Amino acid sequence: MEQTTKRSRFHYTTEQIIEKPFNWSQMVRLFGFMKPYAWTLLPKTIFAMLIVTAVRVAVPIFIGVLAIDYAIIPGDLNLLYTFAVIVLGLYLFSWVANVFRIRWMNEIGQHMIFDIRTALFNHIQRLSHRFFDQRSGGSILVRVINDVNSMQDLFTNGVVNLLMDIVMLVGIIIILFTLSPELAILILIVLPIMFFISTKLRRKIRRSWQTVRVRQSKMNSHLNESIQGIRVTQAYAQEKENMDFFDGVNTDNYESWKHATRMNAIFRPFVEMSSAVGAVVLIWYGASLIELNTISIGVFVSFAFYLGMFWEPISRLGQVYNQLLVGMASSERIFEFLDEKPSVPEKKDAISLSKVKGNIVFEDVEFAYDESRKALQNIDLTFEAGQTIALVGHTGSGKSTIVNLMSRFYDPTKGRVLLDGVDLRDLRLDELRSNVSYVLQDTFIFAGTIMDNIRFGRPDATDQEVIDAAKAIGAHEFIVKLEGGYNTEVEEKGNVLSVGERQLLSFARALLANPRILILDEATASIDTETELKIQEGLKRLLANRTAVMIAHRLSTIRDANKIIVLEKGKVLEEGTHDELMHSRGAYYNLVKSQYAAMTDKG
Amino acid sequence: METFKRLKQFYWPYKSYFIWSLLALLIVTGMTVLYPVILQFTIDHAVRAENYELIPYLALAIVAVMALKGGAVYIHQYFGDLFGITTVYKLRNTLYRKLQYLPFRYYDNAKTGDLMSRLTGDVETFRFFLSFGCAQVVNFVLLVGFSMTVMFYYSVPLTLVTLAVLPFLAITVRKFDKRVHPGFRGIRKSLARLNTKVQENVSGMHTVKALSQEDQEINRFEKSNEDYRQKHLDISKIWGNYFPLMELLGNLSAVFLLAFGGYLTIQGSLQPGELVAFFSLVWYIIGPIMNLGFIINMFSQSKASGERLLEILDEEERKDEALPIENSNEFVGEVVFNEVSLTYGAKSASALKGISFEATKGKTIGLVGATGSGKSSIIQLITRFYERSSGEIFIDGKSIDQFTLGDLREQIGVVLQETFLFSSTIRDNLAYGRPDISMEEIIEAAKRADAHEFICALPDGYETVLGERGLGLSGGQKQRIAIARAIIMDPKILILDDATSAVDMQTEVKIQKAFREVMEGRTTFIIAHRISSVKHADEILVLEDGEICERGTHKELLNSGGLYRRIYDIQNQDQEYVLQQA
């Protein structure tokens, strides 16, 4: 990594390995997606394909051997016209078959692609937070979109063409042998040559294109980052340095491209020469066979036609092989995601709670994200329905883990969590989750109207219910002031809404969802003081009549909680009301004091 | 054509590649047409005339023709590609340079996705056209021309009959083209929607899960996914309807050829070998015509791409007309604002109105106010990220315009509100502003920003490579790296725009203490929400709606009982409460 001359300024890892060696079991799994169509679309498609191929293979016989030898040379006009009509009939037949072949072939492929993408997306929805925390959004996106799309060619054209080309090659070989075994044997020496070119040489070409793609993706990563980070670059006056770096990446890309394109161009003369070998054999040996009267001119002509038909299927077989290798790499990445287990499985006989009150009990709960590190130990807690509970502690003390256990984003490694007296693991997951909602520090705004964004909490809410929720929270005023009111279009990166307004929207969302249990995870941390004042009222409304658990830094939000729980290194240190804890002068007292020491600057 | 003319500077220097490629193409096409001619000659003049002694020469001729063609194909393709990639290499560097020097104002309205699609997709389309498209037009003309010439030479009536399908073919191709391109556009749009949907789902995943809306998301996704599939099926139907039809038309001409050509041969006005040659030649004409739509479309696409690239190239770069200062050590760092106003866009309200203040060397200025009150705008004028609309800004007594942007910004260390880290090692991120700095200095700065400890705890320490946007670090950690990055600049002016919002209070206190040392002798601007962060400032400016509504020291402001006092009270009510308890 470190070079004597100059360090590389940026590092980009290309996650995308473009192709993988062939792997049977994965192949089988991949083609499992073809199953629903194996007895419906697939046989029809293959049938249509066989017709098209048969016609293509048959026509040169009619034109060559039959028409020339039997009609043209003897001068039989009637027979000639008969042949012409037959050929016409064959072509019409193949035309119809071809229409359906293309249509069905694409249907199979597109349905499979659709199925794979749906399976992948649906599966991802069920994965844990940790899954999303561990990777960038971009890398997930690439799998759902690009990796799935990269198999499009394989499924739409690849598979059917593979069959078609094999049938065609075999058909031609059989016909050639029937027409003239001697000439066939000699002519067919071009086949191994063509195969050799198509595989060996192609492999080299493929590799060099891979280098190009890797370098290009590095270049694109840098481009993307340099645009996003342009403000930092300009603030630190690093424009020239970045240009040097880019020139380096660009040059690398140029060089690899030059190499690949040369390899690619060399390929062509080889193809021409292999055809030349066939043509020479045909002319030289074929002519001498005619001289010996072993074959007719018509056979010679048919051979000439077939010779011209060799390269296409062979070259396409090479392409399908390429598509397969690309498909291997993509499908491996897709399966990797599909094999990712949702962290919490639902029991088959899961119970459904008719009405949730909102009592939560932690019984001797222990939790570890991995073996070495216990995030929670010996947690015994009771949250009464309707109470507001505050969790206090440093980063890593286990606050977030506790709330994550409450909606079963994870299961405890020991002990149990109970809702209204029932172990969470016995409950239906969707019911549990719809009773527990979160308000997060960052409000994510989905592209759509304000109305849609509030309604995100409960998609079947009427417009009036949405407006009522906004009014209750105190968001109505600013919404109606916007140009489009509730129908104002907003988006995540847009600047229509301020931070405080976004937070109010998320409160309205949560109120509309009306969960029995509400969790506020640092919900007011990124808001300035004045805005915080403005949303206080809304927050109070939101907390009323439900069990609320909040994680907060600011003492002003914690103070009024029914119960404050102080955590340290995964253990409960203290619990009680603000007054009680202040009086006992324990950890909470010290925490408060140190925070104010920070404020008043004595520390 | 205008578009291509304006992009000439990029490809014209490499015209020799293009010319070689075209010359080679001439040979390729000639040799292609020669092959059926040799076959015809073999059948008619060697075999049927029983001149078998000609055969070896004909075989040699085939080898020669193919060898010549092979060589020419190589030259044609290689130089054609070279023409495209060399041009694009140069074009990319120019575009990148442009992007580095566009003003902040440009980026306020630009979308990364849109820029990226220009820099990748449009550049690629342009390259493809240069490498391949131009030559295809020439190839079309040559191949069709050569083939027709030979065909007419063999037999005029047969040529006319065989090519009778051409008008029909041309109509079909045109119709196909008209339908298929909107289809492809539909696919692209549908894919973009699908992409947006998934991206939004993934980035909003925490919210989705927080409100347990996974099923709803699945439904919404399914709609986009279905639409995408449907668009593909639509287009495959168009393909399925037209492509076999085009093939059928080509095949029809083969049937005519067989019937009429056979008739002519039986009549004796055509040689059998000529008839055979016709079968090859006719496809040399039909094939390119089927591709014609593709070529025309490529031309119009590359024109559109060229225009989008020109849009970037035509953007005005930021103003930077001053002369470099000779001795940067003389830079002091005094900042004076005199009645400065700022309006971001023509339509928007002014972000700053009549701002005046003086920050002498070593002084600290605190900026307080609600979001959108104009705090950030002030510092963006000091760094000249934006140009003021009116008023004067002086640095060291000289108008700010008299400094080059490079000189000015080298003297300013700024920690932006939104932390951006690059995909690079921590070390290189820290040294971003001064790539040649020593390791000791880096560590020193990291310690001051309270970042050294956690950096050392990482597996590779300072050599740890950060992922996309600092993936793997917490918000507070990222901010601390950004702070160290500013300290390393050893700036005369230090700007902290809400730089510690994500670090917890205790850490903030540590950092602030360290800052007081760092700030010694530098002019410092601090923007903060917490009063505790600005209370030590020599002067605090309280902003409201782009105007300074109060100014003074912490004490003065507390006494005056204005907005500052109010914020202070809110933040401190807890403290009083606590004191009562204790």
Helix (H) or strand (E) holding B574: helix B563-581
Lowest mean pLDDT: which of A366-370, B244-248, B267-271, B387-391?
A366-370
Q: What is the pLDDT of residues B43-84, one digit of tens each?
A: 999 988 889 999 999 999 999 999 999 999 999 999 999 999
DSSP A22: -
**If you average pLDDT over residues B532-553, what whole number do you get?**
90
Cβ within 8 Å, pair A231-B420: yes
Of A30, A603, A402, A82, which Cα lies nearest the Cα of B513? A603
A509 and chain B in contact, CB less than 8 A: yes
Q: What is the ipTM of this complex?
A: 0.88
> Residue A558's Cα: distance from chain center in Å?
41
Res. A598: pLDDT tops 70: no
Q: Nearest by CB to B205, which of A68, A132, A437?
A: A132
Q: What is the pLDDT of residues B259-285, one digit of tens each?
A: 999 999 999 999 999 999 999 899 899
In chain B, the N- to C-terminal Cα span, in Å, equals 82
Q: What is the pLDDT of residue A360?
A: 93
Highest mean pLDDT among A132-146, B410-424, B560-574: B410-424
Q: What is the pLDDT of residue A101?
A: 93
| A and B: number of Cβ contacts within 8 A | 424
* Chain A residue with Cα closest to B566: A530
- B282-296 as b/e: b if 16+ CB within 10 A: bbbbbebbbebbebb
A182 CB-contact burial (10 Å; exposed 0-12 / middle 13-18 / buried 19+) = middle
* Chain A residue with Cα closest to B242: A99
* Chain B residue with Cα closest to A493: B111
Q: Nearest by CB to B423, which of A12, A220, A533?
A: A12
B240 and chain A in contact, CB less than 8 A: yes
The strand ranges marked E within A412-559 are 414-419, 422-423, 436-439, 448-449, 489-490, 517-521, 547-551
Q: What is the pLDDT of residue A150?
A: 86
SS3 B582: coil
Name residues 78-97 of chain B within 8 A of A (Cβ). 78, 81-82, 85-86, 89, 92-93, 96-97
Taking a C-beta distance cutoff of 8 angstroms, is the pair B394, A192 a contact? no
Res. A586: pLDDT tops 80: yes
Of A184, A163, A189, A164, which Cα lies nearest the Cα of A173? A184
* Chain B residue with Cα closest to A236: B433
B322/B396: higher pLDDT: B396
Mean of the per-residue pLDDT values of chain B: 89
Res. B502: pLDDT tops 60: yes
- Look up residue A426 and give its two tokens: 């016995």
Q: What is the pLDDT of residue B108?
A: 82
Q: Is the torsion defined by CA of A470, A471, A473, A474 positive or negative?
A: positive
* Chain B residue with Cα closest to A230: B100
Name residues 344-363 of chain A within 8 A of B (Cβ). none
- Rounded Cα distance between A51 and A57, Å, is 10
- Rounded Cα distance between A108 and A44, Å, is 11
Contact residues, chain A, for B43 at CB < 8 Å? 297, 300-301
Percent of chain A with pLDDT over 70: 93
Taking a C-beta distance cutoff of 8 angstroms, is the pair A194, A314 a contact? yes
Cβ within 8 Å, pair A72-B262: yes
pTM above 0.95, yes or no: no
Percent of chain A with pLDDT over 90: 37
Contact residues, chain B, for A124 at CB < 8 Å? 202
Mean of the per-residue pLDDT values of chain A: 86
Q: What is the pLDDT of residue B347?
A: 62
A483 and chain B in contact, CB less than 8 A: no
Q: Where residue A603 falls among pLDDT bands split at 50, 70, 90?
A: very low
Of A434, A563, A557, A445, which Cα lies nearest the Cα of A508? A445
> Which residue, among A73, A85, A99, A443, would best test binding to B if mutated, counting the most B CBs under 10 Å from its CB?
A99
Res. B117: pLDDT tops 90: no
Res. A179: pLDDT tops 90: yes
Strand B547-552's sheet: what is its strand order?
A: B412-415, B493-497, B523-527, B364-369, B539-544, B547-552
- Rounded Cα distance between A410 and B14, Å, is 62
How close, in Å, is residue B325 to chain A by CA atoms? 15
Q: What is the pLDDT of residues A49-74, one digit of tens each?
A: 999 999 999 999 999 899 999 999 89
Q: What is the pLDDT of residue A397?
A: 81
* Chain A residue with Cα closest to B58: A283
Cβ within 8 Å, pair B575-A531: no
Of B69, B5, B415, B429, which Cα lies nearest the Cα of A268? B69
Res. A601: pLDDT tops 60: no
Q: Nearest by CB to A304, which of B39, B275, B412?
A: B39
Q: What is the pLDDT of residue B79?
A: 95
- Rounded Cα distance between A591 and B117, Å, is 51
- Look up residue A123 and give its two tokens: 């599966």
Contact residues, chain B, for A9 at CB < 8 Å? 424, 428, 435
Cβ within 8 Å, pair A77-B416: no
- Look up residue B481 and give its two tokens: 């790296």
Q: What is the pLDDT of residue A55?
A: 95
Question: What is the amino acid identity at position A488?
Answer: T
Q: Is the torsion defined by CA of A24, A25, A31, A36 positive or negative?
A: positive
Q: What is the pLDDT of residue B574?
A: 63
Of A10, A309, A235, A16, which Cα lies nearest the Cα of A145? A16
Contact residues, chain A, for B531 at CB < 8 Å? 599
Q: What is the pLDDT of residues B432-479, one digit of tens each?
A: 998 889 999 999 999 988 899 889 988 889 998 887 656 667 778 888
Of B34, B318, B240, which Cα lies nearest the Cα of A95? B240
Taking a C-beta distance cutoff of 8 angstroms, is the pair A521, A402 a contact? no
B210 and chain A in contact, CB less than 8 A: yes
Q: What is the pLDDT of residue A602?
A: 41
Number of residues in chain A: 603
Q: Where residue A18 falls among pLDDT bands split at 50, 70, 90?
A: low
Res. A1: pLDDT tops 50: no
Q: What is the pLDDT of residue A351?
A: 84
Highest mean pLDDT among A352-356, B439-443, B494-498: B439-443
How close, in Å, is residue A87 to chain B by CA atoms? 7
The strand ranges marked E within A451-556 are 489-490, 517-521, 547-551
Residue located via tokens 């498909």: A327
- Look up residue B313 and give its two tokens: 């190239």
Highest mean pLDDT among A183-187, A591-595, B329-333: A183-187
> Which residue, among B117, B271, B347, B422, would best test binding to A if mutated, counting the most A CBs under 10 Å from its CB?
B422
Q: What is the pLDDT of residues A422-475, one digit of tens each?
A: 999 998 888 888 888 888 777 788 888 999 999 988 888 999 999 999 988 888
Q: What is the pLDDT of residue B263?
A: 95
B422 and chain A in contact, CB less than 8 A: yes
- Rounded Cα distance between B364 and B516, Å, is 10
A534/A123: higher pLDDT: A123
**If you average pLDDT over residues B493-507, what whole number do you get?**
79
